[in-house]
Amino acid sequence: MKKATAIFEEGHHRWYAIARDPMRPSFLIDTNEYLVQSGHDALLTDPGGMEIFPTVFSALAEVVDPTQVRQIFASHQDPDVISSLALWIAFNPNIRCHISRLWETFIPHFGGDKQTLIGMPDEGKELHVGVAQLQAVSAHYLHSSGNFHLYDPTAKILFSGDVGAALLPEDDNALYVKDFDRHIAYAKGFHVRWMGSNQAKRDWCERVSKLTIEQLCPQHGAIYRGADVMRFINWFDELKVGMA
Residue nearest Fe ion, Cβ-based: 78
Nearer to Fe ion, 43 or 74 (CB): 74
Q: How far is the CB of 11 from Fe ion (least distance, A)?
A: 32
Report which secondary-structure segment, H or E, holds 210: none
16 three-class SS: strand
Residues forming beta bridges with residue 137, ordered by sequence position? 149
For Fe ion, which is the closer residue by CB, 162 or 228? Answer: 162
User: Site residues (CB under 5 A) for Fe ion?
Assistant: 78, 80, 162, 219
d(CA 136, CA 158): 10
- Pick the closer one to Fe ion by CB: 78 or 152: 78
62 CB burial (10 A radius; 0-12, 13-18, 19+)? exposed
Q: CB-wise, 93 or 189, nearer to Fe ion?
A: 189
Using alpha carbons only, what angle is made at residue 19 by residues 190 and 191, rounded to the nearest 5 degrees?
10
- Rounded to whole angstroms, the maximal C-alpha distance in the chain is 47
CB of 239 to Fe ion, least distance (A): 17
The residues with which 152 forms a beta bridge, in sequence order, are 157
Closer CB to Fe ion, 13 or 76, in the complex: 76
Task: Please report how close the Cβ of residue 29 comes to Fe ion at its closest, in angstroms.
Answer: 7
CB of 12 to Fe ion, least distance (A): 30
Minimum gap (Å) between residue 81 Cβ and Fe ion: 6
Q: List Cβ neighbours of 124 (8 Å cut-off, separation of 6 or more).
A: 135, 136, 137, 138, 148
